[in-house]
Amino acid sequence: MSSKIGLVGTGLMGTPMAERLLEQLSSGDSLTLYNRTPEKLVKLQQQGATIAASVPELLACEAVILMLSDAAAIRAVMLSDAAKPHLSGRTMIQMSTIAPSESRQLCREIQAAGGDYLEAPVLGSIPEARSGQLLVMVGANPEQFETWLPLLQILGESPRLVGEVGTAAALKLSLNQLIGSLTAAFALSLSFVQQQGVPPESFMQVLRQSALYAPTFDKKLARMLDQDYANPNFPTKHLLKDTKLFLDEATAARLQVDSLAGVRQILEMACSLGLAEADYSALFAAIQPQPTAETP
C-alpha cells in the first residue's frame, strides 16, 4: 500500500532528512513538504518532493514529520485555526527537540483534534541525517512504534522505543544537557592550558589516554583553536534553547542545576557576541577574557 508522508520544517535538519526520505522511500510512497519560507523548498522540489502551499494542503498526508525549531513554532504551524480541523485522522511524528511537558501537551491537543501523535527526537546532526544514521528515540505506544518503524528506520537504523510520550523527549534533552556541559567544560580547560603556556596537543594527548576523554572534544578542537564557528550543523541558539528547556524541567523536578545555569550564561554571552547562528563550539569565545570597560 502506498503512503503519503509529509514533513514540515526544512531548516538545517529538515532538509537532509527530506533528502534521505526522497532517496529511500519505496516507489509508490511520496513526500510532501511545507516550510514557512518557501525559498528553502526549491531544491527539494527539483529532487522530487511535492510542495504543499499551505498547512491544510500538507495535512492531506496520512503522517507528517515535524522538524521545527521549538514548541512555539509547532503550535503556530500545526495548531492554528486553519490547520486544526485538518488534523483528524492524521499522525504527527514530532522529531524536533522540545521539553517532555511540551510534548505531552501537544499530544493532548492533537488527540483532542482527532489526530494521533508520537515523538521521535534524534541525536546526530546533518551528516547523520544524510546517511540515515540518526539515533532515533521514540515516545509512543507499542502499536504506534510498530506502525511507523519502517519510516523511522530510513532516518536511523535502530529506532528505540523508550516509553510513552514525554520519555523520549526527556532522554533527548538529557543528551543535549551533556552536549552543553561537556563542551563548556572542555572549552574552559583548553582556554586555561593555552593561557598557561601548555601546548594544546600535550593537553589532548594526556586527555585522549584518560577516562575523561569524550570524542566530541576532538570534533570541536579545531574549531576552537581556529576560532572558526562558520557553517554550523547545530547553532548556539538551539543549544541555548535546549539548555533552558532542561533547566526549566529539572528545576521543576527540584534537581540542583547550578552547574547548568553557568552553561546557560556562557551560551547567552556567546549569543550576545553575535554567535547565535554560529556552531555551538562558539561558547569557547564567551569563555575567553572579555574586554573590560578600561580596555582601550
Q: Which spans of this chain sit near ligand NAP (rule: CB under 6 A)?
A: 9-14, 35-37, 40, 67-70, 73, 76-77, 96-97, 122, 125, 233-234, 238
Whose CB is nearest to ligand NAP? Answer: 11
Nearest approach, Cβ of residue 242 and ligand NAP (Å):
6
Nearest approach, Cβ of residue 241 and ligand NAP (Å):
6
Nearer to ligand NAP, 215 or 289 (CB): 215
Cα–Cα distance, 126 to 257 (Å, whole number): 30
Nearest approach, Cβ of residue 286 and ligand NAP (Å):
20
Nearer to ligand NAP, 36 or 160 (CB): 36
Report the candidate in 288, 283, 290 with the shortest Cα–Cα distance to residue 184: 283
Give me the amino acid identity at 127.
P
Nearer to ligand NAP, 124 or 207 (CB): 124
Nearer to ligand NAP, 66 or 151 (CB): 66
Cα–Cα distance, 196 to 31 (Å, whole number): 55
Nearer to ligand NAP, 191 or 233 (CB): 233
Q: Where are the alpha helices (DSSP H) in 161-272?
A: 167-195, 200-209, 215-226, 236-252, 258-270
Nearest approach, Cβ of residue 83 and ligand NAP (Å):
11
CA 59 to chain CA mean position, Å: 23
User: What is the DSSP-derived secondary structure letter of residue 115?
Assistant: -
Nearest approach, Cβ of residue 207 and ligand NAP (Å):
25
Assess contact for 31 and 22: CB atoms under 8 A: yes
Cα–Cα distance, 136 to 104 (Å, whole number): 18
